[in-house]
Chain A
Amino acid sequence: DAKTTQPTSMDCAEGRAANLPCNHSTISGNEYVYWYRQIHSQGPQYIIHGLKNNETNEMASLIITEDRKSSTLILPHATLRDTAVYYCIVRVATSRAGGTSYGKLTFGQGTILTVHP
């Protein structure tokens, strides 16, 4: 599994963009980068994922460097409700009989993002 490195904590002002970095220098060519977040006491919530192109959805944008060794999750207009632990995960494919692949998610320590007024 490719390991990921994230800062332990970050702060962001409400209404500003939150940029959360992640290093995954040993990522393999067929591994995806996933981002999840966990708001206090709740189950993790999927945010976004990508392989090598930049991705955007209603929650966030994901910027992956050309060499794929790092990525940045961008929350364009952070709110107080975005305060959470953010996990950057590289997916390990698990094969089953029949050729269908599924991914196990290996969670690291994550980044504690605090959005303040």
Chain B
Amino acid sequence: QKEVEQNSGPLSVPEGAIASLNCTYSDRVSQSFFWYRQYSGKSPELIMSIYSNGDKEDGRFTAQLNKASQYVSLLIRDSQPSDSATYLCAVNTAWGSQGNLIFGKGTKLSVKP
């Protein structure tokens, strides 16, 4: 059973701090990794994708990937109350010879003013 693990949280950080969200995955052959943000009552929204080891930065967001450790993370700098949401880690996995996304349960982030 291919799995994606995340701490469910809630993770609480003060406004302006760095929020660090972590994800591990079990399928060693996974190639693509995504972070989605889901506000309460809304659908998931893609915010970052990463395919190679190392860091990828986009504005206040940095995704980090370490395939050897099967670990992917998302850093949010200068956290804002509007960042409060559940963050879903998604990993592509070869399933029935097609690559489909497997999601973690999500980490709930709360940014306090």
Please say whether chains A and B are actual partners in one complex: no
Interface residues of A (CB under 8 A from B): none
